[in-house]
Structure formats: C-alpha cells, structure tokens
C-alpha cells in the first residue's frame, strides 16, 4: 500500500493535485488503522502560502512533497538501495561513461555470428539532439534507479520548466544539453545558469553533449558552476564525441 501511495504523491506536479493525493493517502492510512502515520503526513503536507511570491509557495510545495515521500518510505518496506551520496556517485559514473556505452553499443563492430538485426546497427546511430540523448540515457538511469522519471514539468511562478530526468528518491535532477553549430558557448552558459536557479532539486546534474565542440575549455567549463548556489549541489559533465 505504501509504495502505491508514494507513487501517487510523486506523480503530482501542482499543489491542487498534491492536496487531492495527500487527502486520499490520509484516508487510506486511517482506514488501515495507521492513525499516527496519517497525522504525520497531515503535518508534513502543510504548505505555507506566500502571497508575495509564487516561487516561494511552489518551493514549499516541492519540499513538502519530498518530505511526505521520504516519511512514507521510511515507514514501510520501501528501502532505498543507496544513500544519497552513493546515488550521486553512481549518477556521476553513469554520465562520465555514457558516451563509452553509446560507442560500444552502436559503433563497435558486432560479432560475425550476430544476425543482421544487430549488424545493421553498427556505425549507424549518432545523437543529434536532447530528445535522442534522453531516449538512450534514461534506460540506463532507470536500470539502477527504478523510480526515475522523465519529462517532469515544474511551475516556477514565471513559466514552466521541463526537467529531462528526475530521481525523486534522492531529489536529483538530470538536465541534458546537446550543442549545435548555431549555439554559442555564452548561450549555453546562460541556459545552465537559469536552470540552476529555477530547478528546485537539491542536486542537479548537467550533461553536455558537445557534439559541435563549442566549449573551448572543458575543464574550466565543468568547474565554473561548482558551489555557485549554497543550497544546491551542481555537477557538470561535458562530453565532446568524435562524430564522423
């Protein structure tokens, strides 16, 4: 039951839907005799309304939602497989080696005994935009983090932002960027700076697939954003693949 309740609450993207799911959760807990759990969920789900700032109210909503999910997980048989620090290291390794995975999967000549279904993939797949990048990366993330989701929309109070991959269990967002010949390094930097501010996750990974090689100094670019926001941990990984 708790797993289902967690999934329903995690799927909400606005305060209205969240309140409906929380009320349903509380009713389910009370029906099953878990009165104390229902009371705690009621307390954690309280969202202070800030009439001066939509952003502050929305941040309070996300904080409340994550607190309710963490509490429900701690009460049932839903155990996180990793600590948050371990999850961060795992995501870091996946992003660091992801381009190797793509190269081995699609650009390494298959064994002679493979059928044509496999052979025809050899040297044929190249990533050209963020959507293709997401299509290939998400299954790898999902393999390790079963509750990872794609295409989460967040209302910032000014406009909606779309997060490419979210791992709610660890409050991690993964934002994907794929450069093109018309993009400038300064524009990419502005995009990242904006996302850093607007995304409300405590850990944000930026994976930059710089196929057009617009970044002049990869090391400098990756390190430029560390520690820029006190309440968020920012990680940037740049890959400059060799595209034939």
Q: Which fold has domain 84-239?
A: Trna Endonuclease; Chain: A, domain 1 (3.40.1350)
Q: What is the pLDDT of residue 93?
A: 96
Residue among 75, 230, 205 at smallest CA distance from 133: 205
Whole-Å CA distances, 51 to 16, 64, 219? 16, 18, 43
pLDDT band at 23 (very low <50, low <70, confident <90, very high): very high
Residue 26 predicted with pLDDT over 80: yes
Give the residue carrying structure tokens 């932002």.
161
Give the pLDDT mean for 45-52.
82
Q: Enumerate the domain spans of the chain.
A: 2-75, 84-239
Structure tokens at 185: 């390094």
DSSP bridge partners of 224: none
Interacting residues of 48 by C-beta distance below 8 A, sequence separation 6+? 57, 60
Contact indicator for 8, 45 with CB cutoff of 8 Å: no
- Helix (H) / strand (E) element for 113: namely none
Q: What is the pLDDT of residue 209?
A: 94
pLDDT band at 220 (very low <50, low <70, confident <90, very high): very high
pLDDT band at 200 (very low <50, low <70, confident <90, very high): confident
Structure tokens at 93: 């390794």
pLDDT band at 203 (very low <50, low <70, confident <90, very high): very high
What rounded mean pLDDT belongs to the chain? 85
Query: In Å, how far from its chain's centre is CA 112?
Result: 38
């Amino acid at each position: 039951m708790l797993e289902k309740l967690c999934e329903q609450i995690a799927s909400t993207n606005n305060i209205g839907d969240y309140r409906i799911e929380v009320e349903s959760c509380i009713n389910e807990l009370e029906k099953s005799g878990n009165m104390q759990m229902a009371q705690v969920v009621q307390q954690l789900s309280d969202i202070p309304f800030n009439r001066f700032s939509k952003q502050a109210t929305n941040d309070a909503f996300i904080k409340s939602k994550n607190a309710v999910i963490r509490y429900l997980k701690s009460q049932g048989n839903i155990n996180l497989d990793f600590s948050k620090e371990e999850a961060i290291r795992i995501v870091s390794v996946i992003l660091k080696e992801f381009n190797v995975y793509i190269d081995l999967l699609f650009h390494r000549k298959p064994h002679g005994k493979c059928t044509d279904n496999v052979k025809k993939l050899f040297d044929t797949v190249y990533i050209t935009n963020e959507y293709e990048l997401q299509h290939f990366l998400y299954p790898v993330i999902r393999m390790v983090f079963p509750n990872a989701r794609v295409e989460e929309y967040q209302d910032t109070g000014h406009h909606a932002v779309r997060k490419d991959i979210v791992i709610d269990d660890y409050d991690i967002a993964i934002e994907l960027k794929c450069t093109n010949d018309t993009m400038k390094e300064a524009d990419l930097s502005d995009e990242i700076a904006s996302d850093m501010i607007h995304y409300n996750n405590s850990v944000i990974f930026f994976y930059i697939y710089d196929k057009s090689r617009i970044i002049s100094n990869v090391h400098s670019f990756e390190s430029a954003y560390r520690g820029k926001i006190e309440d968020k941990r920012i990680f940037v990984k740049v890959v400059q693949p060799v595209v034939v």
